[in-house]
Amino acid sequence: RILGYTRISNNSTTTGHAEITPDATLTVMQTAQGTDVSVTFTAPPSGNVEISMLCHVFANSKTLEFALSDNATFNEIGETHTYDAGAQSSDETDVNMTYVSFVNTGLTAGTEYERWIGAAETVSGTSAIRHGRNRNTGLHYPPIIVKAIALPATITTGE
């Protein structure tokens, strides 16, 4: 069951508004118009939720990190929710749809939560999460989609 859903898609004709440009520090992603990349949801009876994000990534020989935060100013939920070894890499100028997910367990059933997605480049340079209208051309990038999905009480894990 989908507990929360966010769709972010620029509709501005201003140059640069269709891009979120990460730097070398993990920070909650935010659009030029001030929308945080986050999702709000009420925890299911199991207390277990998957937070997933699908986005369009442009990168030039960069590796992007993604992390789950419990605060808009970026607060790492835990080491295993921070993909600082890289979640998306480009070996030249590449454009990819990138999917990343996090499993958040131990939540209190019936309590409302918000989770934010942070991003960074392993080395600061040229990368962008693109979304929606590309200036005044009328061409569009795919939206950023963030979902909170209910998980069962028992989750099989391993190493």
Taking the CA atoms of residue 32, residue 96, residue 59 and residue 52 in that order, the dihedral angle to the nearest 10 degrees is 50
Reported as a single tens digit per residue, the pLDDT across 58-71 is 888 788 899 999 99
Reported as a single tens digit per residue, the pLDDT across 13-65 is 998 899 999 988 999 999 999 999 999 999 999 999 999 999 999 888 788 89
Query: pTM for the full model?
Result: 0.92
Residues 6+ apart with CB under 8 A from 19: 32, 58, 128, 129, 130, 131
